[in-house]
Chain A
Amino acid sequence: MGESEAAEVSACGDTSGCEQAAVRAKARVERTRNVMMIVAEGLKKSYTSGGRPLPVLQSLDLSIEADSFVSIVGPSGSGKTTLLGLLAGLDEPTSGRVLLDGEDIFSFSEDGRAAFRAERVGFVFQTFHLLPTLTALENVLVPLELRGEGNEARGSAVSLLERVGLGGRLDHFPSQLSGGEQQRVALARAFSNRPKILFADEPTGNLDHETGASIVEMLEHLNQEANTTLVLVTHDLALAERADRILTLGGGRVVEDRPGEGSG
């Protein structure tokens, strides 16, 4: 964890700013020392392709503090999606472990991880992945219904959709919505269970820059309001800059770790 502190320090340009940053970072470290929301230790993932092992992540270590907003960037194929999937417990690592909110998720069964996700994790995909048979509102309700609180939560789902500007499209099916609108539904869905951690894998990848920016704005907004730890994978460097911290992947490792605009 000292790592990120060092990175912050080394990344700042002028001395005064540096001092300020160091103080701020120190304060935050103090505040969050015991609330590392995401910790990855020695995370390795390799695929077998054509009979040969293809290492994608090589012993990656990482920690992300609570309530922060972290972007992950890197060239295509560098393993961003793979990493996000592992952090969210959507796939199993070759070795290593992941602590989410202090819990070692791979010590759980797949069902245990699902229950954990239902409680504390949200996920937004590049390709939206809405359920085609459900309306916008029903899609947002899914995580709540899975926890058995569909009826009471209806109001909050509606207000979430209103927040993302789709108050008038509650009963529309995904096929009746544009890509940007579908992604906003996905966003509302990701927040509907008030997750402690939200993973977003190129949520703007299929959208124009402007729409993408508004999506990220919403993400930030929701992140701040709900005190959610936000991890965003993106190719859009301008968007990535809005984060507190920017991690760059390459060769299966974190090759750069620096603060973003959001940290200031």
Chain B
Amino acid sequence: MSDSGHKTRQRRTIGAPLRPGFAFRLAMRESRHGLRRIGVYVASITLGVGALVSIHSFRDDFARSVQEEADVLMGANARLSGDVVPGPEIEEVLDSLRDAGAGVARVTTASSMILAPSTESVRLLQVRGIDPGYPFYGDVVTEPEGAWGQHLEPGQVLVDPAVLTQFGVDIGDSLTVGTLTLQIAGTVDDLPTDVAFQTAIGPRVHMSQETLEAAELIGFGSLARHEVFLEIPDENERRAIRDRYDELFQTSDVTFRTAEEQAQSLSNGVRFLGRFLALVGLAALLLGGVGVASAIHVYIREKRASIAVLRCLGAGQGTAFLAYLSQAALLGLIGAASGVVLGVALQEVMPIVLRGVLPVEVTTRISVTSVGAGLGIGIWVAVVFALIPLLQVRDVPPLAALRQDFEPPRRRFDPLRLGAWTLLGASVLSLCAYEAPNVELGLAFALSLAVAGAAIASVGVGLMFVTRRYFPSRASYPVRQGVSNLFRPQNQTISVTLALGFGAFVIGTIVQVEGALRDDLTVSFGSGRPNLLLFDIQTDQLEGIRSLLPLDVRGESETSPIVTSRIASINGIEPDSLRSNPDPAARPEAWALRREYRNTYRSYVGRAEELVSGRWWDGTAGSEDGIEVDAGELPRVSLEIDVAESLRVGLGDTITWNVSGARIPTVITSLRSVDWGQLEPNFFAILEPGVLESAPQNIVMVARIEDPQARARVQRALVGAFPNVSALDFSRVQEAIDAVLSKVRQAVAFLGGFSALAGIIVLIGALATSRMQRLREGALLRTLGARQSQVMTVLFAEYLALGSIATASGLILAVVAAALLMPNVFEIDYTLRPLPILTIWGVVVCLTVLTGLVSSRDLLRRPPLPVLREASE
């Protein structure tokens, strides 16, 4: 270190070689005293490293466990899946596989209205027709034991436990499924193929393929998922199947997936999530770094006299610097090592806590790389953050030993200082890039951290200024003294503001966004909006269904016909040729070309739609332009604007639809934007009336039935009269979304709590660092005759002001962030919610005051003289 390159005059007169050995010994001796105080900061390094190590290790554990259990997770070695019944070519492939000795089992899943006659309740559930043999791997846990297989018996079903609670029925009761009445033979408590929460979101009724067919649930155009599970233990064989049939699978719209691939994507998902969590850990660690920097700053200031004496006794700048640098490294080492211990402990606990949520039994193994990385990162962060304040050591002149307040002229340009800052910036950037799911996200995260940090700090400085300037001078003396303590020399108000403010910022932003999302949901489901969606209605059933609705809503129910179509060509070019267009800007996206479109025809623009470009059938112009396209003899179509972009088409282009074999060419004459968030039947393509009326179609109906009981009655009547029709009660959807939101809230509470914890640790560190000053001032006040209650008031006022400024800085920023996020990211109008903001403020301030008072309790107990002696050492 030091400016050994250019020997200055001063250096020569001191004549000081670098003495690392002495520096280390000195560091050890010095660390006996005083370092313990700033050692509290070690805890924030510990917390961050602990989080990183546990998240990294758990990620590895999870990926390994999932890979080991890959076959069990799929229940097979590979799977074919698609939205249509496998065609004859696929059937041929399956036959040949079966001949070659592979196990083949189909599973068909559809949604259907199910009625429990004994309790008269109706729900939309998933029904699964299952072939014998499935699952090929893993054990199914049932109640009663060993009941798996019962579902293959005619007239019998197994259900997920949630079905029993939702219907209020028991094993042995019956369910009406389509045209059949079936008996519940037992519950499926654990299907090894289930990923977390699956049964909570969509409870299922398991039956044989034959029963499902006999129930006549799957009519024309109804949604069902068709899967074929394959038992092909030989990996090479599986690969051969993919190579051989890849083309066929693509054109038949089926997906072939091996168990390993599924496991891989599962652990990728968790990896992604884990990386986000790691970023939170990293943020805590960086906060710890800020704490370390601030503590070292104070420490060096306190040690000025000792450093100066060392210099007088002949230690060089380099030696002195090294002595204190090694103390910072020692702190980092202690923090990181205890962080590793914490992380490994958490790693062991995590599978136990998450059992039931995870799809597999996760076994833990200490990961050398995770531990090594945690250790390295912890020490590095401590050292890199300490570097900047440590550079002051060089600037302590020997003269300072003689005259305490001697300040050398500050260097105007200091390459080392610049270097230290650069190193810090580069370290933060690379750590973020390393921990984040991808580099861009990492850099964005680092940038937002920097912006948030700078913003919180400047709001904090602003609040401090305002407080100082406008604090009422008539307030009682202890209160004023407490507030003015925020400005004492070497105060740590800004670093505490940064730490606590950051926590408050994270919690504040999330709470507001979550609250706004929730309110928005309530509006979506609110009055005037449809709350019942009926689908898969056949044309001839429409009148009958209308008659089931209460009289007052019959007129208001809206129907939309749905005509299932595929794209046959665009401007006369077939999808295959379109797909091979070498220019990506002109090549339509594959999903948009391949998908099955559910188109409709109608004469008006829907409630959730806005005509953007071109003209509607009646000549109404779009909001951005009203270009008129002459379609000539061809029927006109209106496309949703994003899908048009994906198809690389615009006004005037021709799309030919394949509707059950018939080719229907249409010309795009308008583009619409659609608010998909609104619960309305929305469509990519709307044709003008008069074209599709005779095409095969089914109908969607939305209605609003205010009274929940009337709504339930309609659904019951439907199951009886029209088993093929499904009803979606939006209040159930809302419940499901609420359930998901509350999971989100738990996660948020955890993250918020974590950042608050990191903030509190930095606070404790700051208080410990300034303890001496506080002790001295307290003793002094007592010498001057202050009563304990007065000293207490001083402290209380100080912590209250500190907590308020810190929290307010974070929360002000949180309000700004939410106001920016809501309209731009979530497309929701922002309204300030004062209550949660004030609550957070109250809680964090209480925590601050409490922490402060607890850490200062011995201030009140010890007699003043010994304190003063100690403090003036």
Provide the bound-state CA to CA distance between A253 and B489, in Å.
41
Question: Assuming A85-B865, A133-B487, is B477 touching A189 (CB within 8 A)?
Answer: no
What 0/1 pattern do residues 469 to 480 of B give for CB contact below 8 A with A? Answer: 000000011000
Q: B460 to nearest A CB, angstroms?
A: 18
Whether the Cβ atoms of B488 and A91 lie closer than 8 Å is: no
What 0/1 pattern do residues 128 to 141 of A give for CB contact below 8 A with B? Answer: 01011110000001
**Closest 6 pairs between A and B when the two form their complex, measured CB to CB:** A118-B785, A145-B477, A85-B865, A91-B865, A90-B865, A117-B785
Which residue of the partner chain A has the closest CB to B477? A145
Pick from B776, B789, B863, B872: contact of A90, CB below 8 A. B863
Pick from B484, B776, B784: contact of A117, CB below 8 A. B784
Whether the Cβ atoms of B489 and A132 lie closer than 8 Å is: yes
Chain A count of residues within 8 A CB distance of the other chain: 35
Whether the Cβ atoms of A114 and B782 lie closer than 8 Å is: yes
Provide the bound-state CA to CA distance between A185 and B160, in Å.
82
What 0/1 pattern do residues 784 to 810 of B give for CB contact below 8 A with A? Answer: 111111100000000000000000000
Chain B residues, CB < 8 A from A121: 785
Other than the known A118-B786, A189-B784, what 15 A-B pairs have Cβ atoms closer than 8 Å? A90-B864, A91-B864, A110-B863, A111-B787, A117-B785, A118-B787, A123-B784, A131-B481, A132-B489, A133-B485, A142-B477, A142-B784, A147-B785, A148-B476, A175-B489
Whether the Cβ atoms of A150 and B488 lie closer than 8 Å is: no
> Which secondary structure characterizes the binding site on chain A?
helix
Question: Assuming A85-B865, A91-B864, A110-B863, is B781 touching A123 (CB within 8 A)?
Answer: no
For window 73-104 of A, CB contacts with B under 8 Å fall at: 81-82, 85, 88, 90-92
Q: B219 to nearest A CB, angstroms?
A: 81
Chain B residues, CB < 8 A from A1: none
Provide the bound-state CA to CA distance between A238 and B83, in Å.
107
Interface presence of B514 (CB below 8 A): no
Interface presence of A6 (CB below 8 A): no
Pick from B488, B786, B872: contact of A146, CB below 8 A. B786
Which size class do B's interface residues fall under? 20 to 34
Interface presence of B846 (CB below 8 A): no
Interface presence of A183 (CB below 8 A): no
Question: Assuming A91-B864, A142-B477, A175-B489, is B785 touching A134 (CB within 8 A)?
Answer: no
Whether the Cβ atoms of B784 and A92 lie closer than 8 Å is: no
What 0/1 pattern do residues 215 to 245 of A give for CB contact below 8 A with B? Answer: 0000000000000000000000000000000
What 0/1 pattern do residues 766 to 793 of B give for CB contact below 8 A with A? Answer: 0000000000110011111111111000
Interface presence of B868 (CB below 8 A): yes
Chain B residues, CB < 8 A from A82: 865
Chain A residues, CB < 8 A from B488: 132-133
Chain B residues, CB < 8 A from A119: 785
Interface presence of B99 (CB below 8 A): no
Whether the Cβ atoms of B788 and A123 lie closer than 8 Å is: no
Pick from B405, B484, B783, B788: contact of A175, CB below 8 A. B405
Whether the Cβ atoms of B868 and A125 lie closer than 8 Å is: yes
Whether the Cβ atoms of B872 and A127 lie closer than 8 Å is: yes
Provide the bound-state CA to CA distance between A120 and B151, in Å.
94
Q: A112 to nearest B CB, angstroms?
A: 9
Question: Assuming A85-B865, A125-B868, is B784 touching A118 (CB within 8 A)?
Answer: yes
Whether the Cβ atoms of A92 and B863 lie closer than 8 Å is: yes
Chain A residues, CB < 8 A from B776: 129
Which residue of the partner chain A has the closest CB to B789? A111
Q: A224 to nearest B CB, angstroms?
A: 23
Which residues of chain B have a CB within 8 Å of any CB of chain A? 405, 476-477, 481, 484-485, 487-489, 776-777, 780-790, 863-866, 868-869, 872
Provide the bound-state CA to CA distance between A129 and B868, in Å.
9
Chain A residues, CB < 8 A from B489: 132-133, 175
Pick from A85, A88, A146: contact of B790, CB below 8 A. A146
Question: Assuming A127-B872, A132-B488, A133-B487, is B866 touching A146 (CB within 8 A)?
Answer: no
Which residue of the partner chain B has the closest CB to A91? B865
Q: B823 to nearest A CB, angstroms?
A: 44
Q: B792 to nearest A CB, angstroms?
A: 11
Provide the bound-state CA to CA distance between A118 and B787, in Å.
9
Provide the bound-state CA to CA distance between A127 and B305, in Å.
15
Whether the Cβ atoms of B785 and A146 lie closer than 8 Å is: yes
Whether the Cβ atoms of A111 and B484 lie closer than 8 Å is: no
- Of the candidates A88, A91, A134, the one having the most CB atoms from chain B within 10 angstroms of its own CB is A91
Chain A residues, CB < 8 A from B784: 117-118, 123, 142-143, 146, 189
Provide the bound-state CA to CA distance between A109 and B863, in Å.
11
Interface presence of A35 (CB below 8 A): no
What 0/1 pattern do residues 48 to 91 of A give for CB contact below 8 A with B? Answer: 00000000000000000000000000000000011001001011
Which residue of the partner chain A has the closest CB to B788? A111
Chain A residues, CB < 8 A from B405: 175
- Of the candidates A110, A114, A129, A148, the one having the most CB atoms from chain B within 10 angstroms of its own CB is A114
15 contacts between A and B (CB under 8 A): A90-B868, A91-B863, A110-B863, A111-B789, A129-B780, A129-B783, A131-B481, A131-B777, A132-B488, A133-B481, A142-B784, A146-B477, A146-B784, A146-B786, A193-B785
Whether the Cβ atoms of A131 and B785 lie closer than 8 Å is: no
Whether the Cβ atoms of A114 and B484 lie closer than 8 Å is: no
Q: A73 to nearest B CB, angstroms?
A: 20
Chain A residues, CB < 8 A from B487: 133
